[in-house]
Amino acid sequence: MDFSEACNALAGESSIDTWSDILTLSPEIAAKIKPHVFEADETEKMVKVAYPTQLFEIGSIPQILSALAGNIFSMKLISGLRLQDISFPGEVMQAYDGPEFGVVGVRKLLGVRDRPLCGTIVKPKVGLKSKDHAKVAYDSWMGGLDLVKDDENLTDQKFNPFEQRVTETLQLRDKAEEATGEKKMYMPNITAPTCREMIRRAEFVKEVGGEYVMIDIIPVGWSALQTLREENRSLKLALHAHRCMHSAMTRNPKQGVSMQVIAKLTRMIGLDQLHIGTAVGKMHGGEAEVSSLLRTCEGREVSEDRANHVLAQNWHGLNPLLAVASGGLQPGHVPSVMRILGKDIVMQFGGGVHAHPSGTVAGAKAVRQAIDSVMAGIDITEYAKSHEELFLALEKWGIK
């Protein structure tokens, strides 16, 4: 089959056609809602298709993905396919809430004006009892971090039940706020077996004085996120999107769905912050990809970027989404992460805090010291000479 035939088959299978010329498809229907392949570059193996909006339930991400990222990945005639980006017209974009808080709102919530926000993930990922979990969080806040989150696989296990963990951790959060005079945030993981239970957990967090929740966006699925966003119109919690499982579809350059699409849909639905990679840490995703994702998270008008397979997109006033750099980071990474991603980000350090030679409080202090050195324009090695916690971190891990 030649390339243009494959492109037409792809456009058809994702809209009104099937493998044979059905007699039930009248020319009138076809004229109204047939998609158009408007760019097909055989060398690049790149195709662009324009779909009439009537083909979609425009407020439903699940339906949009069932069309644009559904059967076409399974067709035998195409050996490999990757959905790089979708550009949405205003009519579709305006069907979505977008982030409630976004960058400005989160900064206001935390009272942090210009430096990057810094956080940690309680480690070990799972295994701690609720009170020990709360203590690790307390030490992280006392060392100077703004945010503490649950890990992606900690939800409601017997050794650390959700409600007990949230209650005990928020109690110590209040204590840390009092002791430091700084706002502190806890992001409990509300990922749950059903949407009903997920919302119940979010409501519980709100009731006991929490302002944030985190959710594993890929395992829970798109309807769950749209349900959460709808409920959040009244709950008004800050929503942190963890993207675990994304690499199952984003990593292979020849097959799957790009992180660009996931970031765009997450912003449209309206979570407030999203992991986009670090370029320098332990997870895949280099500088070009991470910088391009930052533009998607924060841009108002994004222009086409063919090198990164990004289509032009007018965001029609949707709030920006706060980018989260996390994964294998330690204080010695701070200068390079801030060089690549700037200051309007969250940086998260799990092992980079709790594996500090002098423990969690010192690890947290070292992170803040690293950020302070960059904000003050002082070389981090120089700064470490008068800041012992940072010095010990750099001695153990170096500057990357």
Using CB atoms within 10 A of its CB, is residue 93 exposed (0-12), middle (13-18) or buried (19+)? buried
Q: How far is the CB of 384 from Mg ion (least distance, A)?
A: 27
Give the tokens for residue 350. Answer: 């799990």
Say whether residue 216 binds Mg ion (CB under 5 A): no
Give min distance, CB of 219 to ligand CAP, in A.
13
Q: Site for Mg ion (CB under 5 A): which residue of 46, 60, 84, 151?
A: 151
Sign of CA dihedral 354, 359, 361, 367: negative
Closest distance of CB 67 from ligand CAP, Å: 27
Dist. CA 230–CA 232, nearest whole Å: 5
Residues with a known catalytic role:
123, 242
Whether omega before 124 lies within 30 degrees of 0, making that bond cis, reads yes
> Which of the choices ligand CAP, Mg ion, none does residue 326 contact, using the CB cut-off of 5 to 8 A by kind?
ligand CAP
235 binds, among Mg ion, ligand CAP, none (CB under 5 to 8 A by kind): none
User: Is residue 146 part of the contact set for Mg ion (CB under 5 A)?
Assistant: no
Q: Would strands 46-50 and 36-41 be described as parallel, antiparallel, or unpaired? A: antiparallel
Cα–Cα distance measured from residue 223 to residue 217, given in angstroms and rounded to the nearest whole number: 10
Q: Binding residues for ligand CAP, per CB under 6 A?
A: 121, 125, 151-152, 243, 275, 277, 282-283, 326-329, 349-352
Q: For residue 152, state whether it binds Mg ion (rule: CB under 5 A).
A: yes
Residue with the two structure tokens 């990757």: 82
Q: Which C-beta is closer to ligand CAP: that of 270 or that of 277?
A: 277
Residue among 339, 280, 346, 393 at smallest CA distance from 119: 346
Please identify the residue of the shown chain whose CB is closest to the bound ligand CAP. Answer: 350
- Rounded Cα distance between 84 and 82, Å, is 6
Six-digit token string for 322:
């706060």
Report the residue number, 102 or 119, with the smaller CB distance to ligand CAP: 119
Residue closer to Mg ion (CB basis): 151 or 305: 151
**Part of the chain binding Mg ion (CB under 5 A), chosen from 58-66, 131-139, 152-160, 261-269:** 152-160
* Interface with Mg ion (CB under 5 A): 151-152
